[in-house]
Amino acid sequence: MPRHRRVALPRTRGAIARAWRVWLADNLLRGVPARDLEAALLRHAVPRDLAARAVRAAARAPELEVARRSLATAGRQALAGRLRRELLALRGPDVERRETPPADHFLREYYATGTPVILTDLVTRWPAFTRWSPQHLRDRFGAAQIELEAGRAADPAPDIHYERLRQTSTMAAYVDRVLTAGETNDLYLIANNRNLARPELRELLLDIALPPGWFDPSVERAARCGALWFGPAGTVTALHHDTSNILLCQVVGRKRLRIFPPDEPRLLAAARGVYNDLDPERDADALAARGHDLVLAPGEALFLPVGWWHHVRALDVSISLAFNHFTWLNDFEWYKPGTLA
């Protein structure tokens, strides 16, 4: 038998207070018998006739029926999500690593099913894989003006507050800062800096080749929709999800990613916009959540499906590229469960 939720509420005289009405509705929805609720009210010095009337009124309220229907709908959806998670768990704890498949196979097996996969042979074919290094970027693009994030370590939410952390620099000066910074989250080139769209850095795209049939072939589109990530070991991107599918390509250094499916209950409960209040490196709820802990090595690319929660830490000085201009449907801006009250 459900037990009523214990909440510290004020004693009442005369009409039942709003806090009591909320408490009654909450406990009725949880299936607590009316007699137990009346008894609880009596223990809080609510007169017997007032307690009985308040419980009857709460039980008959049309709002309670609406709430019951909404809870039933949410409960069905929660069961469907649990079934999906239980079945997906049969795949095991590892994200599949494989060679790059043809576009139709990738669409059918990974993109359309929202299944992460690591491609082991895509980035290794690029000229960027053998050419790029911090020193190479300094020598080749040293005079180029770039935008960066600085002062991140002193901000509790640098990814959310990226606009106030923006600075400009030459590539040469930034590379020198990275190479002398040690392990830190204080400076970083991130997606919101839009550095790939800068004409001075457009030649970077000549050093890569995205899988045929997967992306819009326009270099202009790749520049607008691509992102350059570059920083020292220790840079962190807080737990969040994106509203599009992304291909994250690791060119230099390693990154550790903790990724979780969109319907992981512990993470949904802590969602805040597209970000999350949990930290997978320290919070028990996130550590207990069912997900994947992986290290993306130089030369590997991760397909990260839309809605998947991910936390990223650079283990070395790291250079990455990310793209989301897939040829298939990839605009899910409406998917923001963290905005729902």
Instruction: Please check whether residue 78 lies inside any domain of the structure.
Output: no
Instruction: Please check whether residue 260 lies inside any domain of the structure.
Output: yes
Alpha helices for the chain (secondary structure H)? 18-29, 34-43, 48-60, 62-88, 103-106, 127-131, 134-141, 171-181, 219-225, 265-269, 284-288
Instruction: Please check whether residue 72 lies inside any domain of the structure.
Output: no
The 10s digit of each residue's pLDDT in 199-217 is 999 999 999 999 999 999 8
CATH number of the domain residue 186 falls in = 2.60.120.650
Give the residue with greater pLDDT, 291 vs 6.
291
Q: What is the pLDDT of residue 4?
A: 61
Provide the number of structural domains found in the chain.
Answer: 1
First-to-last alpha carbon distance for the chain, in angstroms, is: 29
Range of the domain at 274: 97-323
The edge-to-edge listing of strands for the beta sheet with 166-170 is 166-170, 145-150, 187-188
Instruction: Please check whether residue 49 lies inside any domain of the structure.
Output: no
Cα maximum dimension of the chain: 85
The 10s digit of each residue's pLDDT in 48-67 is 999 999 999 999 999 999 99
Q: What is the pLDDT of residue 39?
A: 94
Instruction: Please check whether residue 71 lies inside any domain of the structure.
Output: no
Instruction: Please check whether residue 254 lies inside any domain of the structure.
Output: yes
Instruction: Please check whether residue 241 lies inside any domain of the structure.
Output: yes
Average pLDDT, the chain: 93
Q: What is the pLDDT of residue 1?
A: 46
What percentage of residues in the chain have a pLDDT greater than 70?
Answer: 96
Instruction: Please check whether residue 10 lies inside any domain of the structure.
Output: no
